[in-house]
Amino acid sequence: MEFTAKQIAEILNGKIEGDENAIVNNFAKIEEGKPNAISFLANPKYTHYIYETESSIVLVNEDFEPQKKINSTLIRVPDAYKALAKLLDVYNSMMEKPNGIEKNTHIHKKAKLGKDIYVGAFSYIGKEAVIGDNVLIYPGCYIGNNVSIGDNTIIYPGVKIYYNTIIGKNCVIHAGSVIGADGFGFAPVQDDAFVKIAQIGNVIIEDNVELGALVTIDRATMGSTIIRTGVRLDNHNHVAHNVEIGRNTVIAAQGGIAGSSKIGENCMFGGQVGIAPHILVANGTKVAATGAISNTIKTENTAVMGAPAIEISNFRRSFIHFRNLDKIVKKLEKLEKIIEENNLTIE
């Protein structure tokens, strides 16, 4: 697909500086620009690339002021990064989507299928499952009994969705994810053995949720594990039984949330963040990568860091002392020696 600068400016409500007939058919990072590609400049540290990039069109912020000649056609927009996201979304929506039901699928006769769906080969759809309109189910997926999937949701290859799971509209679940497996429930009995506790709840995923590859979300012991509207989970995240994640929270890769914890709205977690069981995390909490939350966070919009995590400014001050710990210990050893040599005592 090809677009002219004029067409792109109309989509983005941008202002053109240069050739309105410049044509692009690809995207490229500004430092890797090439003819017939469109790039963007949002981060000031990449500004020097705009003077040498070969990209035909570059999206820039309205307040960008060039210091020398630029060969590319510029399209000025309020926010270049958001404009790129919108343009990528338009491009993606125009790409051809698969449709129809391929051979070698199993669809139970009591399943209900919406309009214009796609079911890839070697997929299974169980009894009483309800599949909404325009749903895409790629090859090798398992959709269990009584599962509900809302309109326009995309299920990528190899996803396994256990029985009674409810998934909303406009969701994206990437390859290999497992939704609704048993929670980790075992009770100790005699002789140091464990007996399994039946997990009879389900998983509810609301609208506009995106799950990365190999995400696992466990069914509740009783009730529901709930992922609220707009949540984004990166690859390799694990959500345990009876967890609730609030609206528009984003969690980077390899995180783990233990059973019955409640995460607030608009939280942001870095990679490899761990949450202990039965923890409450307030709305707007930000946790730096590898942070470990072992106690409830009550104050909204708090930023924490470390393991166990503490308020981020406190962590940074403590880290300065940690870096100097070897020097501090040596000074203490010298002081102890002086005290011993002079028969002094410290009360």
Structure tokens at 79: 């926010």
Q: Say if residues 171 and 205 touch (Cβ distance below 8 Å).
A: yes
Closest CA to 256 of 240, 234, 244, 268: 240
**Does a cis peptide bond (omega within 30 degrees of 0) precede residue 157?**
no
Q: Are strands 73-77 and 57-61 parallel, antiparallel or unpaired?
A: parallel
- Closest by CA to 278, choosing from 292, 266, 296, 264, is 296
Q: What's the rounded Cα separation, in Å, for the pair 79 and 73? A: 17
Structure tokens at 25: 């058919």
**Active-site option among 108, 241, 278, 321:** 241
**Chain centroid offset of residue 346 CA:** 55
* Cis upstream peptide for 44 (omega within 30°): no
241 tagged catalytic: yes
Q: What CA–CA distance (Å, rounded) separates 154 from 159? A: 10
Active site residues: 241
